Amino acid sequence: MATTSFNKKTITLENGDPAPAPQVTPPPPVAPENTFAKKPKLATTKSRKKEIPEGLWTKCPKCSTMVFDKELDENAKVCTKCQHHFAITARERIHSLVETCSFEEMDAHMSSVDVLQFQGVASYKEKLDAYQTSTKLKDAVITGIGRIGDARVALGVMDFGFLGGSMGSVVGEKLTRLIETATDKELPVIIISTSGGARMYEGMFSLMQMAKTAAALAYLGKKKLPYVSVLTHPTTAGVMASYASLGDIIIAEPGAMIGFAGPRVIKDTTQAELPPGFQTAEFLLDHGLVDAIVHRKDMKAALYTYLDFLSEGRRTRTMAAA
Ligand SMILES: [Zn+2]
């Protein structure tokens, strides 16, 4: 028979061992047709899976609910079930706060110089290039003048997606220039912070930004111009120890982690048990560091109200002087 001779051929081709011959024999001539019949079935199930594109749902890290991405976007990136505030980019934040087309960005092209020639697993220069490509930002803050309702404001918004929102010379310089412009043009300042702290790749140059921004804010304060600081998850270290904690009013987003050193460092240093909810916005509201906790959806209205309240005395004074 033709089939047996065929089997013999394949066996000798494979390894020349005659022993497994009986096991190889079974596939009858019908076999090829069967495999063909099965293949299209597999293909259809695969295409059905492909119909659900990736990135359509996001799992909430707090309540584990799968939230529909479109729903999340419409809800200002806040979980519809438990109100967990997801991270948002600086551009998304600006879009959610200022009137359409009213934002004029300042120093958009300012970019860091690798002064220390920092070498790590990847050099600082390589890191900067990678983050500039992935975030389409030049550094971790966007500054500019925009309008909230009828109020013109100097707005600085940090982006955690750029090197953990770390403060290097560019973040410090852009914010200082923003504050100085506001002092000059007599505008209120709003800074929305999210940061892991000073940028270690710039060493002392990043630490110097703490004093520089704080000094600029002192001049703003001398002119009795309001500054509202908004703390979002997370705001820590060098940023928290400078401009983020210097607001005339300090507001925070619900559940935001706010602090200087991390809880483990504090626990090791103080050798004390930390209270529950330590370093959360809610804990700091109870202890007087934060003035209010504002839901992201109410942020624009709240900022408007606070600025109006803080500008009241100033308006009355200018009217009296005139
Ligand atoms: Zn949730």
Can you give the pLDDT at residue 13?
41
Residues (pLDDT < 50) of the chain are 1-22, 31-35, 37, 43-47
**Can you say whether residue 55 is alpha, beta or left, with left for phi > 0 and alpha for psi between -120 and 50 degrees?**
left
Rounded to whole angstroms, how far apart are CA atoms 289 and 260? 13
Can you give the pLDDT at residue 312?
76
- Ligand 1 centre distance from Cα of residue 82 (Å): 4
Which residues have C-beta within 8 Å of that of residue 90, sequence separation ≥ 6?
137, 141, 142, 157, 158, 159
- Ligand 1 centre distance from Cα of residue 195 (Å): 23
Tokens of 204: 């002392």
pTM here? 0.79
- Ligand 1 centre distance from Cα of residue 67 (Å): 8
Can you give the pLDDT at residue 311?
84
- Ligand 1 centre distance from Cα of residue 202 (Å): 37
- Ligand 1 centre distance from Cα of residue 70 (Å): 15
**DSSP characters for 243-290?**
GGG--SEEEE-TT-BB-SS-HHHHHHHH-SPPPTTTTBHHHHHHTTS-
Q: Which residues of 9-47 are buried (b: 16+ CB within 10 A; e: fewer)?
A: eebeeeeeeeeeeeeeeeeeeeeeeeeeeeeeeeeeeee
Can you give the pLDDT at residue 5?
45
- Ligand 1 centre distance from Cα of residue 57 (Å): 12
Rounded to whole angstroms, how far apart are CA atoms 168 and 118? 13
> Which neighbouring-strand residues pair with 106?
143
Q: 219: helix, coil or strand?
A: helix
Can you give the pLDDT at residue 118?
83
Can you give the pLDDT at residue 9?
44
- Ligand 1 centre distance from Cα of residue 63 (Å): 4
Neighbours of ion ligand 1 (CB under 5 A): 60, 62-63, 79, 81-82, 84
Whether the Cβ atoms of residue 120 and residue 72 lie closer than 8 Å to each other: no
- Ligand 1 centre distance from Cα of residue 146 (Å): 32
- Ligand 1 centre distance from Cα of residue 51 (Å): 26
- Ligand 1 centre distance from Cα of residue 85 (Å): 8
Whether the Cβ atoms of residue 117 and residue 146 lie closer than 8 Å to each other: no
- Ligand 1 centre distance from Cα of residue 69 (Å): 13
What is the Cα 272 distance to its own chain's centre? 32
Can you give the pLDDT at residue 186?
95
- Ligand 1 centre distance from Cα of residue 98 (Å): 27
Q: 42: helix, coil or strand?
A: helix
Can you give the pLDDT at residue 283?
93
